Structure 1
């Protein structure tokens, strides 16, 4: 029957149908929010930390939320750049990498209060004789992932500022891939010292997973901006704002909010902006990592 209609009439009907179905089509397409994070800790720990948050977002957004761990930091970057996921928990440096890879299409929407003044710590065995950064010369030192802000970029920047070039001055450089593995590498004696995220260190100490009489912090970096939740600019603005509102609404006065915030090592989430990470981009370029 449609083939009997004048072409102009047919085009008008099809255009009208497309416009009418537009919002419905979008709604049908976006029925699942896919979430991942940089693997700062083991996959089992990621799932434990972020599953309650995924369940909370499902209720707030009225849609299915799938959390899937990735194998390494670059995989988290590529997942959001290529729109394989809609929401990613990035470190500050992986956010910068994603921003560059996407041509400026990544939007940071929320960070923890703790991320406004974040620090990295250097640890060593207390009987190692290592008391300052200068003492690392000729030693075996581990970072986390090469793309980690607190486990590599900012520790390296502080080493360079102290006149130490890791490639020239260290006996060996190792990359553990994750902060918990970094701690284990010092405890086991695989390396003499290492740098990592202060919140992971504090968590291990609080849970009694490391003996501070045997291994402890000997240097803490000046503060910097770090982690955030980021989305791709192509995500519908309405959904982006709903996700942000849900994160900002988390409150430790409720049992659900208290559990999620504790698991995420956060007191609360606040808004963030791209300008907060310009310093990390400058540090990355200065350190030769971008």
Structure 2
């Protein structure tokens, strides 16, 4: 009987300890800092500018201090969330898939922009280059964005392969600019003949008159696919996870604050998402041999 009592006492103690750890973790989140990062698909100053009003909004919605945590590259964003160095991350579809695989399914996508349900990439070239279709890229130089970019590498590569153009064999040279705005600059300056980037950044540059469509043109727009999302680690307390999701879902473009945040995020609204939405991205990565 004494052994049974001892065993029960030990089990009860372990349960109590686990409960205290869980409560302590929840309390730390409730009283602490929400650390946020994003894949560096634009310049560091632009990413910080876009996040500032969103960060203030999330502070009010969660009651936590929100801390912006920049990273050096896409892989660092993945590792930061997988290793719980940050709590919330803005991923592209491919970086989400990488994080999902690296964590053994322990990361959870909360929301995506409505636009991310049908996202697209564009291929651009010098308007006088004579490049008018994907097949015209053979023998030319091309810049992707980051190697881990969904819209700046993975999906453009996938559509090139579908057009029977193998960038590693059929092109004169392939380079990686690191970011979508850098890809535009590479084409505009003549460093490369063509580039691939996400349509959102291209349209932003057009609207802000930072690129002349008479000098740099779009010659191919891809079919749509799922892309970006805001993701958390699965170990985040459920109440905080739900609070964050609702904060994004209730952003209202008819209020000054909502309008400002959504415009900076280049979103009409945020919608709930799920991991299964990115199965197509995972299949494309596996087919291209890019998922490790």
- 1:196 paired residue number: 197
What's the C-alpha RMSD, in Å, of the aligned pairs?
2.0
Change (3 A) 1:178 1:11: same
Change (3 A) 1:137 1:17: closer
Change (3 A) 1:210 1:14: same
Q: How many residue pairs are counted as aligned between the two chains?
A: 283
Tell me the TM-score normalised to structure 1 length.
0.93
> Does the CA-based 8 Å contact 2:262-2:268 persist in structure 1?
yes
Gaps of 5+ in 2: 1-5
d(CA) in 2 for partners of 1:19 and 1:136? 59
Task: Say which SS state the counterpart of residue 182 (structure 2) adopts.
Answer: helix
Could you tell me how far 1:28 is from its partner in structure 2?
A: 3.7
Matched ranges for 1:125-140 at <5 A: 125-140=126-141
> Does the CA-based 8 Å contact 2:26-2:237 persist in structure 1?
no
d(CA) in 1 for partners of 2:148 and 2:23? 39
Asked if 1:180 is matched to 2:181, the reply is yes
Gaps of 5+ in 1: 1-6
Could you tell me how far 1:25 is from its partner in structure 2?
A: 2.4
Could you tell me how far 1:26 is from its partner in structure 2?
A: 2.9
Change (3 A) 1:13 1:131: closer
Change (3 A) 1:57 1:193: same
Task: Say which SS state the counterpart of residue 160 (structure 1) adopts.
Answer: helix
Change (3 A) 1:111 1:131: same
- 1:153 paired residue number: 154
- 2:36 paired residue number: 35
Change (3 A) 1:51 1:158: same
State the 4+ residue runs in structure 1 displaced beyond 4 angstroms.
10-24
Change (3 A) 1:104 1:14: closer
Task: Say which SS state the counterpart of residue 104 (structure 2) adopts.
Answer: coil
Change (3 A) 1:254 1:159: same
Change (3 A) 1:87 1:141: same
Deviations 1:178-207 (A, max 9, x none): 000000000000000000000000000000
d(CA) in 2 for partners of 1:195 and 1:123? 6
d(CA) in 2 for partners of 1:205 and 1:90? 24
